[in-house]
Structure formats: C-alpha cells, structure tokens
Amino acid sequence: MFPDVEQRLKTLMLRAQAGDGQAWREVLTLLNLRLTPYFRRRLGADHAAEVEDLVQETLLAVHRRRMTYDPGQPFTAWAHAMARYKLIDHWRRRSIRRHVPLDDVADTLWVDEAPQGEVKADLDRLLGGLPERQEQLVRGVKIEGLSLAEAGERLGMSEGAAKVSLHRALKALMARVAPRGD
C-alpha cells in the first residue's frame, strides 16, 4: 500500500531465497494480505471461497517458482503476474470473459498512489518496445478508449487488420511481463 512495500517484499524475498524461513513466512503473509483484496475486487464479496482458493493457488505458484525470481526485477510485478494468470485461468475454467485493462498499472505494482510521471515513464518504456503501429493501436484502444475501427482508421488499417495487430501487440506485451513457466 505504501511505496516501501516493494522494497520490503523484495528484501524479504531475497532473504527467503537465501534460506531464511522467517522471511519466507513474512513474504507469504504480506502477499496474502494483498492478494485477498485483489481477487475480492475482481470476483466480488459473494465469492469468498473462490477468492480464498485463488489466493492459495497463487501462493503455491509463488512458492514453487520462488527460486526463479530475478532480483533485478520488481517483486510485486512478478507476484502480480502470477496472480493475474491464476485469475485468468479461473475465468477460463468457468467460461467467464472479462476485460482487464492494460493500464491497470497501480494493481500491477500494488501501490495505491504511484507518481504520475513514473507510471507514464513505465508505460512509455513498455509500449516503446513495440513496432510503431502496434504501439499506436494499444494506446488508442486500451488507453484512449477508441474502438478497433476508430483506431484502425486513424492508422489506415481495416478493423480486422487492427484487431490482429492489437492481439499481437498484447501478446508481445504479456510475454515481456509474464513469469516464466507455471
């Protein structure tokens, strides 16, 4: 919730990777405190059992993959990616389709109030790795709220071509931020 949450979790995770059992218990406790509201917001208060199942599945995934955490990367983003994939898997199992906005950066970092400049810089850096047209499509559709037809027209593309290009762009973005395996 506070800017130092990332640093605290990262420090604990590094200690846990080095074999500190108490640090590992603290990591799991702090993650539990963040995962429960994350899943509750997305599933609703009337799905408490599903929320608890998803928290446990995510904690188990974090446990299994803990040695793959790269200290050069933000810990909360790494853990959030696992939580997000567990949620998507949950929705797929139940044939539920939900739109999760790309610019949900605050949830990704688990920070309540990230400074605007930092968020914009992170988003620019992430999108900057895409080909120009794909970057413009993502910005148009996912950030500005344009329809695929409007964004495609802006770039001189058909709606179908814009849809394919946007799908490829989002797939490329997910590959950049997704945890390896699990």
Cβ–Cβ under 8 Å, residues 154 and 133: no
Pairwise CA distance, residues 106 & 100, whole Å: 13
Of 142, 138, 117, 112, nearest to 127 by C-alpha is 138
Pairwise CA distance, residues 44 & 66, whole Å: 29
Domain boundaries, given as residue ranges, for the chain: 1-113, 115-182
Q: CA dihedral in degrees (91, 94, 95, 101; nearest 10)?
A: -10
Dihedral (CA of 83, 85, 90, 96) sign: positive
How many other C-beta atoms are found inside a 10 Å radius of the C-beta of residue 179?
A: 20
Pairwise CA distance, residues 27 & 6, whole Å: 11
Q: Are 1-113 and 115-182 equal in CATH topology?
A: no
- For the domain spanning 1-113, the CATH number is 1.10.1740.10
Cβ–Cβ under 8 Å, residues 141 and 151: yes
Cα 172 to Cα 8, 42, 59, 119: the distances in Å are: 30, 24, 26, 20
Tens of pLDDT, residue by residue, the chain (182 residues): 445 788 899 999 999 999 999 999 999 999 999 999 988 888 887 888 889 999 999 999 999 988 888 888 889 889 988 998 898 888 888 776 555 555 554 444 444 444 456 667 777 888 888 899 999 998 888 888 888 888 899 999 998 999 999 899 888 888 877 665 54
The topology (CATH level 3) of 115-182 is Arc Repressor Mutant, subunit A (1.10.10)
pLDDT of the residue at 156:
93
- For tokens 């810089």, the residue is 121
pLDDT of the residue at 97:
58
Pairwise CA distance, residues 5 & 129, whole Å: 28
